[in-house]
A = this chain, B = another copy of it.
């Protein structure tokens, strides 16, 4: 039995609003969406939402753990509905495309640091950097490595 998004919000003690539901839905439909992607996705869904609300909502939901925020170097923050699993990401150096990678190690934190400097560690975030098939192809055929593959789109 699937939990209703509205119920999910109530269970976390926050008001149920059209904006929040739409943000949740949009991120679910488009994993690794940026705030801007969400803005457009939500507008398609419920007609209008302010940019500020998108940020507010994204922050609120991330803080509650309903969304997970990832922020690869050189890209705006991206969001995903997290299944609670502890997966990681592959990021393309050229186009910024992000993909999911299951964690082979299991539960979080899935790695244990050797010397923790006295830190109390609760999460190990892994990002695999490389080149996606599309960009690799481009690099092979084109001599100029200027890839214009949109960083935002999912395949």
Taken together as a complex, chains A and B put the C-alpha atoms of A155 and B8 apart, in Å, by 42
State whether A102 touches B114 (Cβ < 8 A).
Answer: yes
A69-B73, A101-B113 known; A129 vs B118 contact (CB < 8 Å): no
A114 to B101, CA, bound (A): 7
Residues of B within 8 Å of A132, CB to CB, are 117-119
> Is A55 interfacial (CB-CB < 8 Å)?
no
Q: How many copies does the complex hold?
A: 2
Kindly identify, within residues 85 to 124 of chain A, every residue whose CB is under 8 Å from any CB belonging to chain B. Answer: 88, 90, 92, 99, 101-102, 104, 109, 111, 113-124
Does A133 have its Cβ within 8 Å of any Cβ on chain B?
A: yes
Q: Are B118 and A128 in contact (CB under 8 A)?
A: no
What is the minimal beta-carbon distance from A123 to any residue of chain B, in angstroms? 4
